Amino acid sequence: MKIKMIKYVFLKTGTAAVLVFTALSLLTGCKKYLDVKTNQSYAVPAKVSDFQALLDYYPTMNTNDPGSGEVSAGDYYLDSTIYNGLSSQKDKDMYTWQKYNLYDPGYNDWSNAYNVVYVANEVLDGLQKLPAADGLENVRGQALVFRAKAFLQIAAIWSLAYDNTSASTDLGIPLRLSSDFNLPSVRSSVAETYRRILADLKQAVPLLPVKQLTADRPSRAAAYGLLARTCLFMRDYPNAGRYADSCLQLNNHLLDFKTLDPAPTYPIPRFNAEIDFETDIPPLSPIGNRRAKIDPLLYQSYADGDLRKILFFRKNADGTHAFRGSYEASSLLFSGIATDEMYLARAEAMARQGNTAAALADLNTLLKTRWDDTFQPLSAASAHDALKLVLTERRKELLMRGLRWMDLKRLNKEGAAITLTRMVNGRVYTLPPNDLRYALPLPDDIIALSGMPQNPR
């Protein structure tokens, strides 16, 4: 299979070791790795700290999460002038949910996600060759979480929603579990994909500390959070609630938005107390905050007194609104694990299991930190009504987090009947519930060179 991946070396300069990543195009049946000239300044990782350094390489591991799902989801729109000004036809085609040819060959969301998988596999393979040492199991756990996170993001974009009735036959993703890129890539089923994600995360939990030195590194709380997210995507709500609870047992801190200053361009601080694991999505052209305009109905759903209405959005000169509420305190979109997501996941699980009181308790715990002093706790006459409140607040709290695309897929499986609509140059484009286009097409060069089946259109 041809797929853009990376090979690493350490470039030693004095006492420092600087990671150098070299892009590779890999093709099934290749005889050898990229030739690297012999030089005493290069060294292969040989100890635990070397493998930790691989996982700590932030540009590859933390700041290139795929944004195709966010481009495709419906929390924003482009006016025709901005759409016409996009330099890439592929960006235009993704925005209007076209069926084919959405990615430039080589460097794209797919390759970025599989670069994370490749590094994680290099670490896992390399650690197997080392004797027991301090920190080794921690690094192993981190690598498992990074791989599982990447697999989950890939599945969320390029596979259909998990459905118990068809998961064993629906097309999943290539589960590359070795750094040997001579091994051919094949598409697993959706069921196999999610089993592997769950297995990696469950294996990681006991290996990881409750808290890492930095939120760039996945912790035990992060592993539980990703388990909760995975189970929610699978519509396994009891386990989603259980894992969200496990995450919150380790960190239940919430920012009090009343303490934040709305004056800065990006008012929510980076590495704040809610964050268990920090990763982000680059601002792809359609979702850059100078182009993307928040859906006016979504903006209007924030009541006066809801501080998110002030902190999440910036008013444009034309009266529309742009998003500025990223936990990255920049134009990058936060895609990691944070406690607000966990409160909402646990609340949804409780509501779906008929526990109205527990669902409302979690929801109100979150909302009282999002409102000014006028906040009045929400109430509901039934678990069904509580669920509607939770899902409304989930959309309002977690927009531009890389989650809405998969939420649309799973909620439409639950009968939500959400149809997305976009208008460009007087033409209306629609995406009906459960449409096959909810699984984006794999990059064409990957299909051509690997022989894997493309998503049906």
What does pTM read for this prediction? 0.92
> What are the residue ranges spanned by the domains of the chain?
3-450
What per-residue confidence (pLDDT) applies to 394?
98
pLDDT tens figures, 289-327: 999 999 999 999 999 999 999 999 999 999 999 999 999
What per-residue confidence (pLDDT) applies to 96?
98
Q: Which residue type occupies 168?
A: S
What per-residue confidence (pLDDT) applies to 181?
84
What per-residue confidence (pLDDT) applies to 44?
85
Strand 321-323 and strand 313-315: the pairing is antiparallel
Residue spans of alpha helices (H) in 215-267: 220-233, 237-250
pLDDT tens figures, 249-276: 999 999 999 999 999 999 999 999 999 9
Residue 152 pLDDT > 80: yes
Mean pLDDT of the chain: 91
Give the CATH number of domain 3-450; options: 1.10.1040.50, 2.10.77.10, 1.25.40.390, 3.60.140.10: 1.25.40.390
What per-residue confidence (pLDDT) applies to 106?
86
In 3-state terms the chain splits into helix, strand, coil percentages (rounded to 5) of: 40, 15, 45
**Four-CA torsion 42, 113, 328, 102, nearest 10 degrees:** 130
Lowest mean pLDDT among 7-16, 56-65, 123-132: 7-16
366-395 average pLDDT score: 98
Residue 345 pLDDT > 70: yes
What per-residue confidence (pLDDT) applies to 283?
84
Residue 13 pLDDT > 90: no
Least Cα distance to 366 among 396, 344, 391 occurs for 344
Tell me the C-alpha distance between 6 and 23, whole Å: 5
Least Cα distance to 409 among 437, 390, 443, 430 occurs for 437
What per-residue confidence (pLDDT) applies to 22?
36
